[in-house]
Structure 1
């Protein structure tokens, strides 16, 4: 480097600027002349004796090249990520673009335990470096509503069922996916593409699930068709069938999908993996659902399960599906009546409407203080005022139906 100055006559004079290497060369040169002591040399150059001896030592070992600045990078990187680990992360991410670093690392830890895997934050940085990370917009979350899941403490204690919102396939026809999951293990029991939400298509899917996995203690759904109705007890023909099988039907409150939040979260993943975009035909869409079901149950890590897949926690129910549908039996002391094909029954000279869902079914009536409380199995349908049976069946408040005891 150099700089310019002016002579007394106004002429430009170029001065050579000395670099740090030049200073070191001069220091070593002064020392090797042996004229001054090291203390005096250090005072003149403004350095410590330790620094001066360091440069003399390097000069003697490597010549003038030893006076150049050296890299301060460490000679070894004990936390360096091996290239094969980086490649494994990228490979899994490309195969599963909706998996985050935690799921990828958990999957690799199970499939390739010999790899020295980094932390989740390092994994995220690696994905970002190669353009495979996506920023996620922060969302305002509803505080969790835990009460409905308090009794989901073992497989088959509660099954969650719902329809994933309908969508158009590539051929323009609408698809209505119905899904069932186990409440505690998150195991995806069924995921079927249907052409409507009618009971005639949904009941065979439940029947197949009961044959394969046995019967649950409870089934939790929303209040939509075909799971529920506006009739007595909120019963539909489908839920009447469940009650006769000894299954308790729980329905979440209207407008509260968070009460079935685990199932709704699975639906978000289902949409990402199989519906965006939709397949061209029903057969192709069902093939996507089948692949997703296998991967979700057997491969995909789940943080709530210690990053194990749902198949590691789920076992089939000890309650098998009966060959014949059992009838409802009522305890002693209850009067039993059969609902006519019209959905009504005669009581104290009046025709009382019970509901079309209970046509041909036996109901129980329990007397108390001039009223008769009406039950189908353990479902409270309401009561009849014996003094004024023409008022018909007086139903309990809607909130009483949300969870049937």
Structure 2
């Protein structure tokens, strides 16, 4: 049938749908099978070339915990950057408590590891550290690498702070923090201040009023300062190395993000350079690589390639109540 007329029978790279359409034009008198049947015939006669299978990242979803008391979960993010009147770029880093809505930090810093980490250290020293941080997937909090980790995220993990990244494209999962951002923008940057110094002064004033003066509807018109409580989790600054169960082999990640595995170099993540990861066998014959309690990906039995686990793809999610 496929060689009955010149065009359709001489196209070895055409798929079933194209062949069906071409044959319908050339031989309208024939009763043609469905495209799926044509595809089965092609496979049966060895006319479908095998395509190489590419290792793709596996989406990893991390559940968000329910915050019930102050300092249980903090939201951390950068409000969208803008320029002050003198042309300087302004990147406000914000941190708020999920339960009390207390705005713990609103500070202009560079959106980098070198900018954020010292600000967080000072914040933790003053207010203790949360059980978990809910954050965006953008730099410096998240990446497209294994498990979405960055060097900053690794530091949080070594402090014992759980990470709760939101799904890309779903800011409503950190809705209370995002709602605060809208108020912050309206009250402090329309229009922007003359300089970064004046803009920071506006942020400081906003934080005082937001915490101590402005009633909050979701708090029965109380202020966040009245609901917030001292933190029982004190900050020691100690970065603990992760522990692994006895069935794990432990490997230090080399400077460029590789590990040595069965006489081969396998790339894991540059964010983990210098860190210890654990690798455990699975019943399938594959091995799972972990940093602390976070699964990084699989080392496959067949190809010994690393298939990383990553953040979920952008999607739609039910927004968090922001009242």
User: 1:397 offset after TM fit, Å?
Assistant: 5.8
Gaps of 5+ in 2: 1-61, 316-323
1:327 maps to which of 241, 265, 268: 241
Aligned to 2:86: 171
How far is 1:328 from its partner? Answer: 1.3
Deviation track 1:102-131 (CA, whole Å, cap 9, x = no partner) reads: xxxxxxxxxxxxxxxxxxxxxxxxxxxxxx
- Conserved 8 A contact 2:97-2:104: yes
C-alpha contact 2:144 2:311 (8 A) present in aligned 1: no
CA distance in 2 between counterparts of 1:266 and 1:248 reads 23
Cα distance 1:275–1:397, how it changes in 2: closer, same or farther (>3 A)? closer
The question of whether the paired residues in 2 share the 8 Å contact of 1:233 and 1:401 is answered with no
Counterparts of 2:310 and 2:63, CA distance in 1: 19
Report the TM-score when normalising by structure 1: 0.60
Write the distance in 2 (CA, Å) between the matches of 1:372 and 1:245.
27
The match for 1:255 is: 169
SS at match of 1:316: coil
CA contact (8 A) 1:158 1:182 kept: yes
Residue of structure 2 equivalent to 1:399: 312
* Structure 2 partner of 1:203: 117
CA distance in 1, matches of 2:238, 2:63: 31
> What residue is the counterpart of 2:3 in the other structure?
none
1:155 maps to which of 54, 58, 70? 70
Structure showing greater Rg: 1
Q: How far does the alpha carbon of each residue in 1:231-278 deviate from its partner, in whole angstroms, 9 at most, with x for none?
A: 111000100001111111111111111111111110111011111111
Partner in structure 1 of residue 224 of structure 2: 310
Counterpart position of 1:185: 100
Structure 1 gap ranges (5+): 1-146
- Bigger share in helix: 1
* Kept in 1: contact 2:148–2:310 (CA 8 A): no
Distance (Å, rounded) in 2 between the aligned partners of 1:398 and 1:221:
12
Q: CA deviation at 1:323?
A: 3.7
- Structure 1 residue 162: deviation in Å? 0.9
Deviation at 1:400, TM superposition (A): 9.6
TM-score (norm 2): 0.75
**Residue in 1 that maps onto 2:191:** 277
Residue 341 (1) aligns with residue 251 (2): no
